[in-house]
Structure 1
């Protein structure tokens, strides 16, 4: 491909627009003094080298689902399901695939909920449908996934067995943390509401 900047521009636009819209959803909850299932939102466009590594002869760049990627962080596991429901009813995007790695964790211990959406971007040459992957997870799940990603990079996907076992135990500990926090959710939200009013 000759012009990567031109190719990636609509993906960057999709990430920027979706971040604004998702942050706007959070603000709407806050304005109504309601608990927001969205703690914060991040986004990125996959680097050229990662796209090339993921591409095969059978897969064109346009078929890669996570060139545009967003992460929605939640405080509680139940919030993840609330966010998924909110995404399903939006009319400005179309949910095309869902992968539940919370109920069906990966062998590594990875937990997250992935939603692939089609999002229309308005370009100079007309509308372009962009695929974007939205990963929805708790803060604990995100901490674990960030560490696991770094180790995968260091060991080029071949994490030593001993470290892999420790990672699995850490994933279970992170999930236990989420479970415990869910049990005191009402007290946490009450305390946060009091703190925010000060």
Structure 2
């Protein structure tokens, strides 16, 4: 049974590793041009088998149709500024090595919990010894502040199984607004921040 799951997850693992290299490479190209990179850093993971099975049960997805699940393979692209997020989305849509099949904007349309992020679902072709296999990959694009909030909320979600006490729920919502306010304030002094970062980088190179 474990071998079966290893075979099933193999192309997803391959997709995550390949996309991490490609997307990190985009950041390197900005650095070589000495221009601001809208990509701060990239992380990726493949859902553990218990999480895949749990979500399939919750969503009523039959085991023979798990390929329909959009986030078995997942990446996160972090941005310094909210304004960088549309730029990253456009960069992804312009590439010809995968296809963007769905977008979900949880920044302008935040979730009730306070969750903010921009989700892009790709159809990515993986080359295997049995030929090409196209799989779905979800990329979450968010600022560092949004990621901090989402990471905390995700941990608490496991503790309370989604049934947050009223006080915790209200504090999370207030924290979400505070994180978004931080992002907006940083956007207002974006030029100053970028100028300072360039000066700091030059100083390190000396």
- TM, length-normalised to structure 2: 0.94
Question: Which residue does the alignment assign to 1:24?
Answer: 25
* Residues 1:98 and 2:103 are matched in the alignment: yes
* Residues 1:40 and 2:41 are matched in the alignment: yes
Question: Which residue does the alignment assign to 1:8?
Answer: 9
* Residues 1:142 and 2:144 are matched in the alignment: no
* Residues 1:125 and 2:130 are matched in the alignment: yes
Q: 1:151 aligns with which of 133, 151, 156?
A: 156
- Secondary structure of 1:77's counterpart equals coil
Q: Write the deviation string for residues 120-165 of structure 1: whole angstroms up to 9, x where unpaired.
A: 0000100000100000000000000000000000001111111000
* Residues 1:180 and 2:185 are matched in the alignment: yes
Q: Distance in 1 between matches of 2:75 and 2:49?
A: 17
Q: Distance in 2 between matches of 1:101 and 1:18?
A: 23
Q: Distance in 1 between matches of 2:25 and 2:51?
A: 30
- Secondary structure of 2:127's counterpart equals strand
Q: Distance in 2 between matches of 1:75 and 1:33?
A: 16
Question: Which residue does the alignment assign to 1:80?
Answer: 85
* Residues 1:70 and 2:75 are matched in the alignment: yes
Q: Write the deviation string for residues 72-92 of structure 1: whole angstroms up to 9, x where unpaired.
A: 000000101100000000000
RMSD: 0.9
User: Which blocks of at least 5 consecutive residues in structure 2 are unaligned?
Assistant: none
Q: Distance in 2 between matches of 1:58 and 1:66?
A: 13
- Secondary structure of 2:83's counterpart equals helix
User: Which blocks of at least 5 consecutive residues in structure 1 are unaligned?
Assistant: none
- TM, length-normalised to structure 1: 0.98
* Residues 1:61 and 2:61 are matched in the alignment: no
